[in-house]
Structure 1
């Protein structure tokens, strides 16, 4: 978790914001929560191995409708995915500290689909770099 320590150092010493862009799937969400809240397997080091100010830039499960992603970009959640989402929804820190993150996870489970970051580039290869990321940061559309 050297990367977590490095990012935490950037936040604490340089006072720079840290944004996280992950796939809209249970594993992307798990990566997001590990950076923000620490690793469940390393709970003994959770206070040192997390980034409290981390902001989730995307991609959100709700982005699939907002950006009119075609069905070919959406993948059905597997039974294992659903089990993982349900387990994550039971984490108390999501209810207390990140209710909007929890809401997005509920949307994923309700829709029963996941998608990768690259799906945003289906209509334009530069959408992600030219519009999505700058717009999210500029307008505060992160959670």
Structure 2
């Protein structure tokens, strides 16, 4: 079985401990090993249940049945909460994706961008005029380094 990304597991541990605790590499490795084992166990059980019911696709229904069959029922309420959070995140992402595929929305964004550009251009012009009126010159002090060959 593939390794879980260590950085992801470390970030998960950090989030779970509110960043208050340091963890040894040995601890992270043990958590990764246990997480792999948990995933393997639940996946195998869900696959078995799926095949017993003559299905070819493992769905969330089979996941929860596997959890129950493994006598891990106490995890179900927490897992359902997580599932709802994930569904909300996916829904928001889909809405955002749809907005950027909407021609009218894209035209509105383009128009807003043009307006902001024009406003910035006007403010810059006004600033330059104000500086000239108050005797402040806007000279750019740019120096170029020459190669040794150019200097000779």
TM-score by shorter chain over 0.5: no
Between structures 1 and 2, the one with greater helix share: 2
Larger strand percent: 1
TM-score range, shorter chain: under 0.3
Larger C-alpha radius of gyration, 1 or 2?
Answer: 2
Higher normalized contact order (CA 8 Å, seq sep 6+, divided by chain length):
1
